[in-house]
Amino acid sequence: MKISESENPDRLRDKKLIAPANFSVRDQVSDAGSPALEKFTALENATVVQRSLEAGAVLAGRAATAEFGFGLNGDACLKNFTSQAADLAFMADLAGEPRYAAAAGGRFGFKPSHGTVSRAGLIGLMPSLEAVGLLGNHPADVAAAMAEIAGFDGKDFSLEAEPLAGFPVRPPKTESKPVLGRPAGCEARLSPAAREIFSAGLKKLEGAGFPVREVPWPGDETFRDLHRVIGSVEASSSCGKFDGVRYGLRADSANNWNDMYLKTRAASFSTFLKTLLFQGAFFQFESYGTFERAARIRARLIREIGQLFETVDLIISPVRPETPAAESAREVDQTYAAFSLTLPANVTGCPALAFSLSGGREASDPGLQVMGGFRSDAFLLACGKRLFETLTGGA
Amino acid sequence: MDYRKRTGCGKLRPADIGREVCLAGWVDARRDHGDLLFIHLRDISGIVQVVFNVQAGSLYEAAGRLKEEYCVLITGQVVRRLEGTENPALETGDIEIKAAGLEIISASKTPPFPISEKAMTAGASVKGTEGVEEDLRLQYRYLDLRRPSLQKHLVNRYRIIKAARDFLDSRGFIEVETPTLTRSTPEGARDYLVPSRLHPGNFYALPQSPQLFKQLLMVGGLERYFQVVRCYRDEDLRPNRQPEFTQLDLEASFIDEEFIYELMEEALVRMFAVAGISLPRPFPRISYREAMETTGTDRPDLRFDLRLVEATDLFRNTGYAIFRKIIGQGGRIKGLIVRGKSEILSKNVLQNEYAREIVPGFGAKGMTWMRVAGGKLESNIVQFFNPGEQQAILERFQAEDGSVIMMIADTSSETVLSALGQLRLHLARRLELIPGNKYHPVWVTGFPLFEATEAGLTSKHHPFTAPDRTDFDPADRPGLLSLNSRAYDLVVNGEELGGGSIRINDARVQRRIFQALDLSEAEVEEKFGFFVRALDYGTPPHGGLALGLDRVASMILGTASIRDVIAFPKNRSAVCPLTQAPAPVTPEQLAELHLAGEGELKISGRREEDPVKRLAWVSRLGYEESERNELKKAVEAAADLAGRIEKLPADAEPVYSPSRPGNRMRPGRTASKYPGVEKKDLFRNAPAVKNGHFKVANILE
């Protein structure tokens, strides 16, 4: 039951697609970048892969991914996207990975609203925070792909029942420009050079008639802390299935069931991921109240961000703060620091897109992120195209 | 109504026709025919059918309100059932009660599982408790106990124990109770400990057996003691093991082995007779060594033949390299012969099942097999044996056409015996060599007194067992290992039902045994000083035995599990689902018992103090020592994070997903088999597969 079923079955004809190793591709190794799934061969295509192929896309290649797609350390999606001259790539968005990669690499990255695109076949880590993200050259490709992949899938029980409205994305009928909200202090984490590029971009938008207003913002630390509590608990829970029984790595010389678990799981995860899993275990077994409290605070933030969209149409911010690049993050703390500006969309489930302000030419380019209200994906992509064309000359 | 006039439901017979009776019990089942309403009324004596007629007006209406397991009082008249409606499944099946009065004593909620075991009409099926989770039955054991079959088991258990009590009484034994709060002594298994409130830091132990007390009773001159006694062992979980179990424990003075054999054979004959089983006497005896050499176990199942045959000497000069090498390393070769079953034991079964899978599972590295046809041996390795060796094999095993010879070779004699012993049982079960309803008791005697360990010696039974001679040198290890004990085990159908020994009654011999075990005087004093001192005061010769009553009752009554002969057993995880024992206690209780510090609880052995180790265990996530520091920092950071979250306002209802899932129930989908099942796709990524299942490590050690 795809959104575009009655529209045009050939919308992705000959589009070259990259499916990273955390997306299942039938009969191919899909290890999700994890020792736990070393040599794991997928039995079925992920729903999004299957739907893209049915719509005419061509699988141009796979790509290594960070462990279970969390962060960009070890991720080769952007690199393969460029070397294969691809049109589209799937990228799991746990903390903002495709948006960050797009802003750094001169591409267009998109994270859909939570619960709109099937995650069946995505080897994920944080179910309530992650979404199937997309990387493309142009907003139109991403919008076309969204029209194919979004919608009901009986294999994913976390999808919303109602189909996502507004697809296929068409140009707005009015010429009126959307009102852009700029979170107070959102440039605080930028270097002077990055701040200059970002301000120039805003000026350009205002010059083109897009109204920009400052909006109150809960603070990046709150989003980071919530993501970390909820994400670590969900990761600990998700990784429970990697026990070496039915698939994946099995450690040698286990004396008994418990021993098999301990040894297998010791060898299944990197130290990087284990630090997150131990934190998740801490909240699950020793401080469950913290997890529940985080879920309450998350509800408040979802409500408050929702109220912001009653006063502005979109929220804009930079993508990449002044921290060591996400690709080089060796510790979970560093990963969270690199994604501090993209986490709000994961915590609130809102859609967000991102692109480079300099076409990937300036190393200090912080990129532009545009977040829309929950399930306003089609509107966001339509506006995103106008912003993208205004700022990049329409490439 | 007057309960004194009550009659047992199951006692009524055609001779009672015409009698006015008063019955009380539970509604076992009901059946409504419109104008007639039938119920089965059940009490401990059995079941009888009661009929309510629509013409009885309000009585019939009241009966209409009855549900299963209501506790009721019924009056009525015994009448003969209409011809053709008799129920042969009931002992009362020729009659029924025409109801005249009904009183609902106590209503019942719908039980969580069916209790009725008797169909209301001849030939109809009964749902029964098959398929009901055992833990659910144990959680509602008081309902489970209403099942006639379980009641029968408990009644018969009582009769079995009573038979033993009566018999021992007739032989001059008296029942004496020994303490259950006692001192921890080394008995082989772990003790259940009871903390002492009055003596901080000190513990009682629940007895693993009353061993020392019963010997002290002999020192005390009681001469003939027995006790039906509860014992406790904190051992690892096994399917048919209970943390507390009941023993028939006995001890007598001025006796020898023959006294015990005669006494216990007679006792056991009487106990088995409760279920109509006749045990043949006298029980045969077999030495430990013969049992091991011919059956591979000291618990031989002698209901079928299949004996192990020595073959090492046949291959001293063989050209078969594997055998030659094993013999060269001091190993041995033994085998067994199965006659007339070569059709079932095909080459494929022997090679692919037994040699590759089954026998390696018994601990042996491999198995050699040969089939006999046309007076010759056939197998993939026969070519390695010269004609003389082949002939010797045929003669040694007395092989004939249609026989199959299976041999195991190993450098360890224990491995050869143990693997062949297990193979013997496996073959017997598979080839249906074990006759049903046959009971084969046997005394196993002549056990070695000591076993060698890496550190030295250990007692095969316990250190109070008398040796077969007392002229040993406690420093002569080979000499000690050649000593036999005066112990005996009683084995029936391959199951050890009991065991005992003649004890040491000479304090000097006892001290030399302790020396042989390398126990210092201080250690002896610490562990059993109170007992050894008693031996200095004119101890009579004595001996005894303990019988595992749960096991004995289970065997006599033919139950699948010993839990079926125990009223309130623990489950396989040593938990009581009814009371949820073991359960946490309050910090106040712990403090009172000096098991908690001030502030944070410190329960030795229950809560791992190191947070990284603790979390690694609860989430079954191991780590390398090199990762430890980072994990420790991460857990500390999580605690800081919890502190920050605590400071943020949190007034809303919690949200666990930003979207609202609409298809949790997957509308329009019906259950179906995953197509990959047929293609064995599910095993494509499996780390280990065996016989069409995912193979995993043992759940229990």
- What tens digit of pLDDT does each residue of B15-28 get? 999 999 999 999 99
Number of domains present in the structure of chain A:
1
- Residues of B in Cβ contact (< 8 Å) with A29: none
CATH number of B96's domain:
2.40.50.140
Is the Cβ–Cβ distance between B547 and B491 less than 8 Å? no
| Full residue range of the structural domain in which residue A187 is found | 16-222+294-392
- Residues of A in Cβ contact (< 8 Å) with B611: 282, 286
* The pLDDT value given to residue A7: 45
B586 contacts: CB under 8 Å, gap ≥ 6: none
Is the Cβ–Cβ distance between A23 and A46 less than 8 Å? yes
* The pLDDT value given to residue B236: 78
User: Which of A282, A284, A303, A307 should one mutate to test binding to chain B, selecting the residue with the greatest count of B CBs within 10 A?
Assistant: A282
Most confidently modeled range among A357-371, B270-284, B459-473, B510-524: B270-284
Structural tokens at position B549: 């009553």
Say if residue B398's pLDDT is above 90: yes
- pLDDT class of B5 with cuts at 50, 70, 90: confident
Asked whether residue B685 is domain-assigned, the answer is no
Q: What are phi and psi of B13, to 5 degrees?
A: -135, 170
Asked whether residue B691 is domain-assigned, the answer is no
- pLDDT class of A3 with cuts at 50, 70, 90: very low
Asked whether residue B213 is domain-assigned, the answer is no
Say if residue B239's pLDDT is above 80: no
CA B226, B230, B234: angle at the middle one, nearest 5? Answer: 135
- Of the given ranges (A251-265, B132-146, B599-613), which has the lowest mean pLDDT? B599-613
Whether residues B697 and A127 touch (CB distance < 8 A) is answered with no
Q: Which of A359, A365, A351 is nearest to A314 (CA)?
A: A351
- pLDDT class of A255 with cuts at 50, 70, 90: confident
* The pLDDT value given to residue A6: 39
Say if residue B598's pLDDT is above 50: no
- pLDDT class of A5 with cuts at 50, 70, 90: very low
* The pLDDT value given to residue B651: 85
Is the Cβ–Cβ distance between A390 and A201 less than 8 Å? no
Q: β-pairing, B193-195 with B203-205?
A: antiparallel
Is the Cβ–Cβ distance between B563 and B277 less than 8 Å? no
Number of domains present in the structure of chain B:
2
* The pLDDT value given to residue B602: 38
- Residues of A in Cβ contact (< 8 Å) with B624: 266
- Of the given ranges (A194-203, A288-297, A311-320, B234-243), which has the lowest mean pLDDT? B234-243
* The pLDDT value given to residue B186: 63
- pLDDT class of B325 with cuts at 50, 70, 90: very high
Whether residues A250 and B620 touch (CB distance < 8 A) is answered with no
Asked whether residue A76 is domain-assigned, the answer is yes
Structural tokens at position A369: 């992120």
- Residues of B in Cβ contact (< 8 Å) with A243: 620
Q: A228 at the B interface (CB within 8 A)?
A: yes
Is the Cβ–Cβ distance between A220 and A340 less than 8 Å? yes
Q: How far apart are CA B439 and CA B276, in angstroms?
A: 12
Closest partner residue to B623 among A128, A266, A332, by Cβ? A266
- pLDDT class of A258 with cuts at 50, 70, 90: confident
* The pLDDT value given to residue B541: 97
Q: B656 at the A interface (CB within 8 A)?
A: yes
Asked whether residue B15 is domain-assigned, the answer is yes
How many CA atoms does the CB half-sphere of A291 hold within 13 Å? 20
For chain B, the average pLDDT equals 91
- pLDDT class of A12 with cuts at 50, 70, 90: very high
Q: A376 at the B interface (CB within 8 A)?
A: no
Annotated binding site of B for L-aspartate: 187, 233, 461, 503
- Of the given ranges (B109-113, B117-121, B349-353, B541-545), which has the lowest mean pLDDT? B117-121
Q: How many CB pairs under 8 A join A and B?
A: 208
Q: How far apart are CA B78 and CA B9, in angstroms?
A: 11
Whether residues A114 and B659 touch (CB distance < 8 A) is answered with yes
pLDDT digit string, tens, across residues A53-64: 999 999 999 999
* The pLDDT value given to residue B667: 55
Whether residues A262 and B666 touch (CB distance < 8 A) is answered with no
Say if residue A95's pLDDT is above 70: yes
Q: Which of A77, A130, A131 is nearest to A105 (CA)?
A: A77
* The pLDDT value given to residue B220: 97
Listed in sequence order, the DSSP H helices in B89-178 are 134-139, 141-144, 148-170
Our CA-based measurement puts residue A394 at a distance from the nearest CA of chain B, in whole angstroms, of 33
* The pLDDT value given to residue B665: 58
pLDDT digit string, tens, across residues B416-454: 999 999 999 999 999 999 998 899 999 999 999 999 888
Asked whether residue A10 is domain-assigned, the answer is no
For chain A, the average pLDDT equals 92
Give the mean pLDDT of B114-131. 82
pLDDT digit string, tens, across residues A172-222: 766 789 999 999 888 988 999 999 999 999 999 999 999 999 999 988 899
* The pLDDT value given to residue B371: 95
* The pLDDT value given to residue B589: 86
State yes or no: ipTM above 0.85. yes
Q: B616 at the A interface (CB within 8 A)?
A: yes
Q: B682 at the A interface (CB within 8 A)?
A: yes
Angle between helices A220-238 and A288-308 (to 10 degrees): 130
Q: How far apart are CA A93 and CA A346, in angstroms?
A: 8
Asked whether residue B348 is domain-assigned, the answer is yes
- pLDDT class of B664 with cuts at 50, 70, 90: low
Q: How far apart are CA B655 and CA B524, in angstroms?
A: 65
* The pLDDT value given to residue B124: 78
Closest partner residue to B656 among A281, A295, A347, by Cβ? A295
B191 contacts: CB under 8 Å, gap ≥ 6: B184, B205, B206, B208, B232, B234
Q: Which of B106, B137, B154 is the last residue of a domain?
A: B106
Asked whether residue A242 is domain-assigned, the answer is no
Is the Cβ–Cβ distance between A346 and A228 less than 8 Å? no
Whether residues B627 and A157 touch (CB distance < 8 A) is answered with no
Asked whether residue A287 is domain-assigned, the answer is no
Q: Which of B93, B105, B126, B95 is nearest to B26 (CA)?
A: B105
* The pLDDT value given to residue B608: 67
Give the mean pLDDT of B92-104. 96
Q: Which of B379, B396, B430 is the last residue of a domain?
A: B430
Q: A270 at the B interface (CB within 8 A)?
A: no
User: Which of B238, B601, B635, B663 should one mutate to test binding to chain A, selecting the residue with the greatest count of A CBs within 10 A?
Assistant: B663
Say if residue A121's pLDDT is above 60: yes
Asked whether residue A94 is domain-assigned, the answer is yes
Residue scoring higher pLDDT (B317 or A1): B317
Asked whether residue B275 is domain-assigned, the answer is no
| Full residue range of the structural domain in which residue B49 is found | 3-106
Asked whether residue A276 is domain-assigned, the answer is no
Q: Which of B233, B215, B234, B235 is nearest to B225 (CA)?
A: B215
CATH number of A132's domain:
3.90.1300.10
- pLDDT class of A126 with cuts at 50, 70, 90: very high
* The pLDDT value given to residue A394: 56
Annotated binding site of B for ATP: 233-235, 242, 496, 548-551
* The pLDDT value given to residue B355: 92
End-to-end CA gap in chain A: 33
Residue of A nearest to B696 (CA): A245
CA distances from B91 to A166, B42, B86, B118, B549 (A): 76, 12, 10, 11, 30
Q: How far apart are CA A149 and CA A49, in angstroms?
A: 8
- pLDDT class of B663 with cuts at 50, 70, 90: low
Closest partner residue to A300 among B645, B651, B663, by Cβ? B651
CB interface of B with A, residues 622-641, below 8 Å: 622-624, 627, 630-631, 633-635, 637-639, 641
Give the mean pLDDT of A65-82. 96
Annotated binding site of B: 187, 233-235, 242, 461, 496, 503, 548-551
Closest partner residue to B684 among A43, A116, A222, by Cβ? A43
CB interface of A with B, residues 108-127, below 8 Å: 113-116, 127
Give the mean pLDDT of A31-38. 95
CATH number of B397's domain:
3.30.1360.30
Asked whether residue A360 is domain-assigned, the answer is yes
Give the mean pLDDT of B224-232. 97
- pLDDT class of B332 with cuts at 50, 70, 90: very high
- Residues of B in Cβ contact (< 8 Å) with A269: 621
Residue of A nearest to B666 (CA): A154
DSSP helix/strand/coil, B531 = helix
pTM (whole model) above 0.80: no
Percentage of residues in chain B having pLDDT higher than 90: 75
- Residues of B in Cβ contact (< 8 Å) with A296: 650-655
Asked whether residue A21 is domain-assigned, the answer is yes
* The pLDDT value given to residue B700: 56
Q: Which of B430, B452, B478 is the last residue of a domain?
A: B430
Our CA-based measurement puts residue A197 at a distance from the nearest CA of chain B, in whole angstroms, of 33
